[in-house]
Structure 1
Amino acid sequence: MFSYSALTDPDLFDLVKSEDEAAFKEIYERYFDVLYIHAYKRLQDKEEAQDVIQEVFTALWDKREYIILTSSLPAYLFTAVRNKILNTLSHRKYESSYIQSLQQFINKGICQTDHLIRENQLQTLIEKEIAALPPKMQEVFSLSRNAHLSHKEIAAELNLSEQTVKKQVNNALRILRTKLGLLIFLYLLFKNNF
């Protein structure tokens, strides 16, 4: 009776080339464990190590007609496993880098988005309260805070005294501080000074 286990690697591989599945099974059983241990030592992941070995043996079967062994079958298999391990490690590193980059982008985006939303809400609230000021006070305050004009420049533009302009700005700030609260008032007071 014929026994595949008694055949040499070159004889088995010749049979594999002629589509002998039993010869392929013998090679698989002969080298799976040692290749798996080698892959596991490098990858430290059972599933990845098993996937690497499966891919190597699948490629061996699929490309059997084109493979020319220039050295021994074990040398060919170990080289194929080593290359798959390097590909896996490279992919793992790339994937980790990509995930870190994506996480940083998400974190930064969430913070920026949250900050922009809060700033827009705050700005809308401030504009609403400024719009509720008496018209002349609103005009003086707008020239002071939005146009960045000095009290003297506002007084000249609106034909008012500097004292009146100063009083209007102070009154506007007092009203806004009462309505908006201290933190929003400080934001309003200092936002144009930075």
Structure 2
Amino acid sequence: MNPNQLNSSDEAEQYLLDQLVLGSHDAFEKLYRLHWVFVYNQAYKRLRDQDDAENITQDIFTTVWENRTKAPIQNFRAYLFVLTKNKTLNFIVKNKPTLITDYEESISNDSSPLKELLTKEAYHNLNEKILSLPPQQRTAFAMRYEENRSTDEIATIMGLSVKTVRNHLGKAISTIRSILKFLILLFF
């Protein structure tokens, strides 16, 4: 398939990601050219140093290449955002402990359109996952995390054993774990 024949930029990017998994250097170079400025700007915003931001950017794309055959990437820009955030924080902790306060301020003041979009998308996906839970799991989850009820209270209200309620909660959390991890990474 020729990437020029694809209908949208999302399809073209997915095609490049598929080719990347197969080891295409050309696809990697195209993804790099499309996204390096975004990664660099995210790193620079937190580090405030051109050389360090360039090094982080190179490290990010090295990681992308090295991990190309691992779990499929659904949203490449979101993946780069989280990867950059994590690598930048690790760099600060290792190399510039005095910048940790600045980093925390930049994160707390970071209300970029991308972060807002990622947050909305993640919450939308979280709500969809919760609504797709089986009825008893959904009810137990809502009582526990929206109404702050104890497992004993939930068991009494639902007419179930405490162990059954814990099982329902465990299964519900397992179902929505990936979205919760993404939200945690996004905010912390």
TM-score tier by shorter-chain length is 0.3 to 0.5
Could you say which structure has the greater relative contact order, defined with CA pairs below 8 angstroms and 6 or more residues apart? 2
Q: TM-score, normalization: structure 2? A: 0.46
